[in-house]
């Protein structure tokens, strides 16, 4: 049975997500549609990529992942269909594809849109539904022309300077736990067996890795590698981001910060001894 996932920035407050599912089922009534999230940030591709990467890998081969986020950053004339890890990704040509794949994929095709002056979200998703229906009978190359000319954006990477590692906040969850853009393997590569300190404030320091949230007493701060393998900072039964004033990256705040000559994103520094 064909499997499609939906990841959007639309939310659940109007009819749009229901209409999209109706379009998909009209194109192929045998589809199974799985919701990943409808609360992607439209201006935080780091967050969107983190969510998509770590959800997609649990789906079977040939799953079609539809991502609708920041669809109208540019006037859409086409969408992208990419073959990646034996699955398919359909998204806008706005840089999100390479944020997810982390390199430039080769099997990318254009899904052309109508040449009308005003393109709506449901016109875009109608083209997606048609592409999904055709993918069940044909190969990706029959859906659109192959292309290697599309918008490329890539994730921020942690940077190192002598004994200091600077990591960016890529995700803050509903409990205000903070996820940094460094994996366990990258952390250990930088660490080289040394001790470390993560300063949240002058008097609040994390200097060990816990197995999970219960590794510290209630109200205590901790660092651990979450189920996605990324370094996460948290408070047991608390809200770390709000307490320490931490915020994630967004392109809107980046643009404002650039005008004001401020930091472009919020970092957490890790010091090694």
pLDDT digits (tens, 9 = 90+) for 236-255: 999 999 998 888 765 555 44
What confidence score (pLDDT) does residue 116 get?
66
Angle formed by the axes of helices 16-27 and 121-135, nearest 10°: 30
What confidence score (pLDDT) does residue 250 get?
58
Sites in the chain below the pLDDT cut of 50: 254-265
CA dist 176 and 173 (Å) reads 5
What confidence score (pLDDT) does residue 263 get?
37
Q: Give the CATH class of 3-142.
A: alpha beta
What confidence score (pLDDT) does residue 249 get?
62
What confidence score (pLDDT) does residue 257 get?
42
Task: Give the tens place of pLDDT for each residue, 90-147.
Answer: 999 999 999 999 999 999 999 999 876 668 999 999 999 999 999 988 888 889 999 9
Architecture of domain 159-272: Beta Barrel (2.40)
**Token pair for 6:** 């939906």
- The domain locations on the chain are 3-142, 159-272
What confidence score (pLDDT) does residue 48 get?
94
In sequence order, what are the residues at sequence separation of 6 or more whose Cβ sits closer than 8 angstroms to the Cβ of residue 40? 7, 8, 9, 47, 48, 51, 67, 69
CA dist 58 and 177 (Å) reads 23
In sequence order, what are the residues at sequence separation of 6 or more whose Cβ sits closer than 8 angstroms to the Cβ of residue 100? 48, 49, 52, 53, 56, 67, 84, 89
CA dist 269 and 273 (Å) reads 13
Cα–chain-centroid distance for residue 150?
A: 18
């Amino acid at each position: 049975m064909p499997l499609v996932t939906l990841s959007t920035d639309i939310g659940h407050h109007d009819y749009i997500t229901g209409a999209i599912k109706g379009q998909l089922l009209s194109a192929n009534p045998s589809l199974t549609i799985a919701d990943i999230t409808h609360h992607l940030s439209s201006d935080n591709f780091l967050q969107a990529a983190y969510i998509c990467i770590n959800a997609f890998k649990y789906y079977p081969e040939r799953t079609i992942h539809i991502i609708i986020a920041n669809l109208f950053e540019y006037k859409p004339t086409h969408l992208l269909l990419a073959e990646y890890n034996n699955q398919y990704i359909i998204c806008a040509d706005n840089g999100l594809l390479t944020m997810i794949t982390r390199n430039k994929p080769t099997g990318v095709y254009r899904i052309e849109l109508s040449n009308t002056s005003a393109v709506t979200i449901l016109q875009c998703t109608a083209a997606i539904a048609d592409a999904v229906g055709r993918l069940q009978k044909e190969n990706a190359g029959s859906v659109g022309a192959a292309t290697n000319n599309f918008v490329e954006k890539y994730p921020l990477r942690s940077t190192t300077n002598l004994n200091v590692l600077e990591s960016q906040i890529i995700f803050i969850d509903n409990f205000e736990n903070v996820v940094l853009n460094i994996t366990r393997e990258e952390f250990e590569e930088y660490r080289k067996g040394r001790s470390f300190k993560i300063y949240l404030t002058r008097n609040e320091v994390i200097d060990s890795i816990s197995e999970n949230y219960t590794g510290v007493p209630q109200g205590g701060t901790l660092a651990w590698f979450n189920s996605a393998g990324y370094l996460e900072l948290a408070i047991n039964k608390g809200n770390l981001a709000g307490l320490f004033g931490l915020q994630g990256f967004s392109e809107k705040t980046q643009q404002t910060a650039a005008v004001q000559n401020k930091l472009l994103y919020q970092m957490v520094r890790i010091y090694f001894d």
